[in-house]
Chain A
């Protein structure tokens, strides 16, 4: 049943360079995604999920360095390339960006240049990765805008981003990302900055298009509800480490890692009087990057903390089921 993975991240270590020292941001991150699937990357703010996402397309600023690890991507021509090893300003990565892996971002308000029309910014991407005529590119852009649900696409294409609302701009961003039929779409919290009603619309656009184009999606979020709606698989991150990963239904039904369990408990429930419970926040707060606890970083806040084990070494991978694995000493 397991296909060859489209993207495989192997022991990715990204660190922040401060003066002469390196502060780890992600440690030994491993996960993979198959073609056509939706993987959600979940965690609190600052856990490193965005950093991981940006690193896939080598979009990190120069202070954030990939210290170790591989990002194996299976390209359209069936060849596999290690993105982590590519020169960050080279032709190969530029061909992959937009052409085979596309990305949409959190802030729709600032992801477009206000000085160029929407059409200009979409058509530009088309011309980068294919050699179609100007007219064809223009028509493709109109079709894309229609697909993402922008009314009156023919007029819209000549308008400037300022004329669009946040939700519309996000749709336009999706249109731009999809313009070259990418194999993988990375969505970095695309709905966090939007109103709740617009959120639902944009999410359904993403889902529909994913089905239609058959592309894989890595969806970053800190919102469990959204994840449950959208994703097939999920990987939970805490302080730069993956702590649990697997199929969404499986994990949500029976979370193994204490952190995951906590996360799920924190989600508010609507229900009958009996079903409703108190909100139980997770004890403590996320430590600062400089005060990383030794061993398993969740240790100090964990109810099942085992001194002598959890504060000495980070647990290795335990495969619970075929579609469920966890990093926890409880299961070692």
Chain B
């Protein structure tokens, strides 16, 4: 028994011995199942962003006046009598309560609206180029609102899909800009040292010591009311990344300082590499992994920030739809009590942030395979 057990562990150990550093990283990552889950979700979100028009059932501003403030319509397979059908939705009819005069929706189980895949619907331009009108799913008769509708009858499901694109893009652009600024500032600080380094570090300390929310709020409140939604989008992204670059800069600088004198740089110098060559080929790879981890942590931070700002009405504005903008209509308790499905965008935020965190954790563990 001990012999067999020995063999199994021995094989495990041997495979680890033989693997190259790259393979080690991939294995460690795969082992981290949570990281795989996280990455899958992120990839899913990215696909949704790219194919938003295809996946959504209607446009983000299209209103269904027949079904404003309506609860989610549930896709069913079995009707009232217990018969199996292809997926469908029951008809909903608006009724008015004779006593309170409040309108509500009644499900009419007599009429079925079949749900079809790859259905023809509203036209759009795929990737902004190719005119198309096929949607992933939908109904020919009647309507379907997977996540319900808001106060003016806009389909929440479609809006969430479009919002995924906006929220993710704010995150990506924000992180990229922060990364560039951080890289430059950190690079200058780390490479020059001395007074330049000191000044930059002081600046970073100062920015970090400001409570972030009041700062964002203050800056975004300063944006003129008249600006178009697009301008606001750009400005908000800049504001968020303009404050966020500090941690990346610190990381870059720290690595540069510590790596400046490490043995392999010395070795490279001895063999006659030029300065740029040293930086690019020798110093970069070793802290690229940490950088990647930092980036995946910065994402959720920026997404949360944008969501918060938009929720307060100080971030993005209609007609640009992000998860935060959608939550703006959920600002008071009365709306939520009446239409709890308005909170669904929040669920997407949470999932996105958790997914990024999982991915970041997995990357961090993988980047340091020698930790164990």
Q: Do chains A and B touch in the complex (CB under 8 A)?
A: yes
Interface residues, chain A, with chain B CB atoms under 8 Å away = 18-24, 288, 290-292
Residue of B nearest to A16 (CB): B9
Instruction: Give the CA-CA distance A227 to B5 in the complex, in Å.
Output: 37
What number of residue pairs across chains A and B have CB atoms under 8 A from each other?
21
A21, B10: Cβ atoms under 8 Å?
Answer: no
User: Mask for B1-44, Cβ within 8 A of A = 1, else 0?
Assistant: 01001101110010000000000000000000000000000000
A21, B13: Cβ atoms under 8 Å?
Answer: no
Known: A18-B9, A292-B6. 6 other contacts (CB 8 A): A21-B8, A21-B9, A22-B2, A290-B9, A290-B10, A290-B13
Question: Which residues of B are found within 8 Å of A291, using beta-carbon distances?
Answer: 10
Residue of A nearest to B11 (CB): A290
Q: How many residues of B contact A (CB 8 A)?
A: 7
A19, B9: Cβ atoms under 8 Å?
Answer: yes
A23, B13: Cβ atoms under 8 Å?
Answer: no
Instruction: Give the CA-CA distance A23 to B13 in the complex, in Å.
Output: 13
Partner among A22, A288, A292 whose Cβ is within 8 Å of the Cβ of B5: A22
Instruction: Give the CA-CA distance A22 to B5 in the complex, in Å.
Output: 8
Instruction: Give the CA-CA distance A291 to B13 in the complex, in Å.
Output: 11
Instruction: Give the CA-CA distance A288 to B11 in the complex, in Å.
Output: 12
What are the nearest 4 A-B pairs in CB distance?
A21-B5, A290-B10, A18-B9, A290-B6
Instruction: Give the CA-CA distance A140 to B10 in the complex, in Å.
Output: 52
Question: Which residues of B are found within 8 Å of A292, using beta-carbon distances?
Answer: 6
Question: Which residues of A are found within 8 Å of B9, using beta-carbon distances?
Answer: 18-19, 21, 23, 290
Interface residues, chain B, with chain A CB atoms under 8 Å away = 2, 5-6, 8-10, 13
Instruction: Give the CA-CA distance A39 to B2 in the complex, in Å.
Output: 33
Question: Which residues of B are found within 8 Å of A290, using beta-carbon distances?
Answer: 6, 9-10, 13
Residue of B nearest to A20 (CB): B5
Instruction: Give the CA-CA distance A18 to B16 in the complex, in Å.
Output: 15
Residue of A nearest to B4 (CB): A21
Question: Which residues of B are found within 8 Å of A24, using beta-carbon distances?
Answer: 2
B81 nearest CB across to chain A (Å): 54
Residue of A nearest to B14 (CB): A290
Question: Which residues of A are found within 8 Å of B5, using beta-carbon distances?
Answer: 20-23
Residue of A nearest to B5 (CB): A21
Listed by A's residue number, 6 A-B pairs whose Cβ atoms lie within 8 Å are A21-B8, A22-B2, A23-B5, A23-B9, A24-B2, A290-B13
Residue of B nearest to A21 (CB): B5
Question: Which residues of B are found within 8 Å of A23, using beta-carbon distances?
Answer: 5-6, 9
Instruction: Give the CA-CA distance A236 to B310 in the complex, in Å.
Output: 73
Question: Which residues of A are found within 8 Å of B6, using beta-carbon distances?
Answer: 21, 23, 290, 292
Question: Which residues of B are found within 8 Å of A18, using beta-carbon distances?
Answer: 9
Question: Which residues of B are found within 8 Å of A21, using beta-carbon distances?
Answer: 2, 5-6, 8-9
B14 nearest CB across to chain A (Å): 8
Instruction: Give the CA-CA distance A21 to B5 in the complex, in Å.
Output: 5
Instruction: Give the CA-CA distance A175 to B123 in the complex, in Å.
Output: 85
Instruction: Give the CA-CA distance A18 to B9 in the complex, in Å.
Output: 8
B171 nearest CB across to chain A (Å): 39
Residue of A nearest to B1 (CB): A21
A106 nearest CB across to chain B (Å): 22
Residue of B nearest to A24 (CB): B2
A288, B13: Cβ atoms under 8 Å?
Answer: yes
Instruction: Give the CA-CA distance A19 to B10 in the complex, in Å.
Output: 12
Instruction: Give the CA-CA distance A288 to B14 in the complex, in Å.
Output: 11
Instruction: Give the CA-CA distance A290 to B3 in the complex, in Å.
Output: 9
Instruction: Give the CA-CA distance A291 to B7 in the complex, in Å.
Output: 9
B11 nearest CB across to chain A (Å): 9
Instruction: Give the CA-CA distance A292 to B9 in the complex, in Å.
Output: 13
